[in-house]
Amino acid sequence: MPSDISFAAPLNRRAFGGILLAGGMALALPRASHAQSADAARQLVTNAVGEVNRIIASGQPESAMLAAFERVFANYADVPTIARSTLGVAARQASQAQLSAYTQAYQGYVSRKYGRRFREFAGGQIEVTSVQPLKSYFEVVSTAYLRNKNPADVRWHVSQKGGQAKFFNIIIEGVNMLASERTEVQAILDQNRGNIDALTQALSRA
State how far Cα 117 lies from the chain centre. 18
Say what the pLDDT of residue 122 is. Answer: 72
Say what the pLDDT of residue 34 is. Answer: 58
* CA–CA–CA angle 69, 72, 74 (5° rounding): 110
As a whole-number percent, the residues of the chain with pLDDT over 70 amount to 83
Low pLDDT (below 50) residues in the chain:
1-32
pTM across the whole model: 0.76
Using one digit for the tens of pLDDT, what is the confidence trace for 23-53? 333 333 344 455 668 999 999 999 998 998 8
Say what the pLDDT of residue 27 is. Answer: 30
User: Which domains are assigned to the chain?
Assistant: 16-205 (3.10.450.710)
Find, among 135, 1, 14, 112, the residue nearest to 66 by Cα.
112
Using one digit for the tens of pLDDT, what is the confidence trace for 126-145? 899 999 999 889 999 999 88
Say what the pLDDT of residue 124 is. Answer: 80
Distances (CA, A) of 178 to 29, 105, 117: 33, 16, 15
Say what the pLDDT of residue 147 is. Answer: 80
Rounded Cα–Cα distance for residues 159 and 41 (Å): 8
Q: What value does the CA radius of gyration of the chain take, rounded to a whole number of Å?
A: 24
Say what the pLDDT of residue 176 is. Answer: 93
